[in-house]
A = this chain, B = another copy of it.
Amino acid sequence: MTAQPPPSPHETASAPATVRVALLGCGTVGTQVVRLLRRHSAEIAARVGAPVELVGIAVRSLDADRGPDVPADLLTTDAEALVRRADVVVELIGGTTTARDLVLEAIAGGAGVVTANKALLATHGPQLYAAADAAGVDLLYEAAVAGAVPVVRGVRESLAGDRVMRVLGIVNGTTNFILDEMTTGGHDFDVVLARAQELGYAEADPTADVEGHDAAAKAAILASLAFHTRVSLGDVDCEGITGVTAADIEAAREAGGVIKLLAIAERVEAGSRESVAVRVNPVILPDGHPLAGVRGAYNAVVVEAEAAGRLMFYGAGAGGAPTASAVLGDLVAAARHRGQGGRAPAESAYAELPIAGPEHVTSRRQIRLAVEDRPGVLAHLATTFAEHGVSIETVRQQAGDDEAATLAVVTHDAPESALRATISALRETPGVRELLSAYRVERA
């Protein structure tokens, strides 16, 4: 006979009630969620403090082949009825109409919600957060920003006692892959894009990725979280990577850096009021910067906080299993709260900061110019910078050909308005043939 362990003081006569989970959508991520839930059911139950049961999977068609991980008897086309039977609803159908209706219905019925739907949050976030708040239920979305990278929880919970000053991240794997390939192979954008499309790393219509729209949606979510204020997609100043050339990348490399597409959200002063500026644009990162080494389809987000200093969160930005891992982390939290009470920190917009336009941002630029290779040109250029109050950190002359030279000027920090005026004036400065590029440069 084996001695029984003494009952824990919290143990009650009845077993804890099973937490019923409904899954809406069963594509790449959904299939992985089902697989992991089944495979790790004992561990998940231990972490939740109660058994977790997948009670149904809503799909559009019952006929599609979903492989051996998805039990056919859980499939249903009646998503609404399924939602009514669940304690936690995992929304993975995408889109903003049916998804919104089902999420609202789940919340109204008192269920916690986990979603990976960035578009839904960007479009209907405030309505959904308010509904979750009124019902006192969780609405969690770690998987909607940068896949498995646990930056949502990090910003919302780990930094809850700090003051975030700046967030900058590589949050789109497709563009990071393309820039990486351009850097490694020395090819131009079009060549690498075509290759990425062949390999399935870029969509047939790559607009959302290469124009920065996908990154902008994530930037809006991160900025809202980090600054406890409302930032929507339209507030993001957005520039993609279609204009990045092999020559630009080579020039960055010569200056000891790499070009990355960054989402940047920061506190700025605008008209003496503290404001938030959010942008997506290609930036030169010096090699020592923690984001400079983020390769291929990985994502990473640096958060600069007043007390913590610089933190970085790094991981797989997409993919079925990594995204499912993020979904399940949220699912365990929502299920635990259902069983044991409590609730994750709700969304908050108490800070109500105004959005500052790009003209209020301060930055450094690397300005590359094709100039005539004759005496006096540099003096003209230097005068143009000085007249606009922009001071120069370094000037480097790069390889040129017949009577032309390429100059790369890196400025000190300067207001965007002064930089724009300088760039306009440079085009008219004697000896300047062409303005080649004017990337922002981050500090290591």
Contact = CB atoms under 8 A, between A and B. Distances in A.
Contacts of A333: 157, 160
B148 A331 contact: no
Contacts of A345: 47, 336
A308 interface: yes
Interface string A281-314: 0000000101001010000100001111111111
Interface stretch (A76-84, A187-195, A315-323): A315-323
A43 interface: yes
A224 interface: no
A150 interface: yes
Contacts of A340: 342-343
Q: Is the interface of A mostly helix, strand, loop or mixed?
A: mixed
Number of copies: 2
Contact of A133 (B8, B148, B351): B8
Interface string A14-46: 000000000000000000100011001001101
Given A336-B345, A341-B342, A342-B341, A307 B36 contact: yes
A161 interface: yes
Interface string A157-184: 1111111000000000000000000000
Contacts of A336: 345
A388 interface: no
Given A159-B325, A337-B342, A341-B342, 15 more contacts: A36-B161, A40-B161, A40-B162, A44-B161, A46-B350, A153-B157, A157-B157, A157-B329, A157-B333, A161-B328, A290-B293, A308-B315, A309-B319, A311-B313, A341-B341
Interface of A: 8-10, 32, 36-37, 40, 43-44, 46-47, 133-134, 136, 142, 148-150, 153-154, 157-163, 228, 288, 290, 293, 295, 300, 305-316, 319, 321-322, 324-329, 331-333, 336-337, 340-343, 345, 348, 350-351
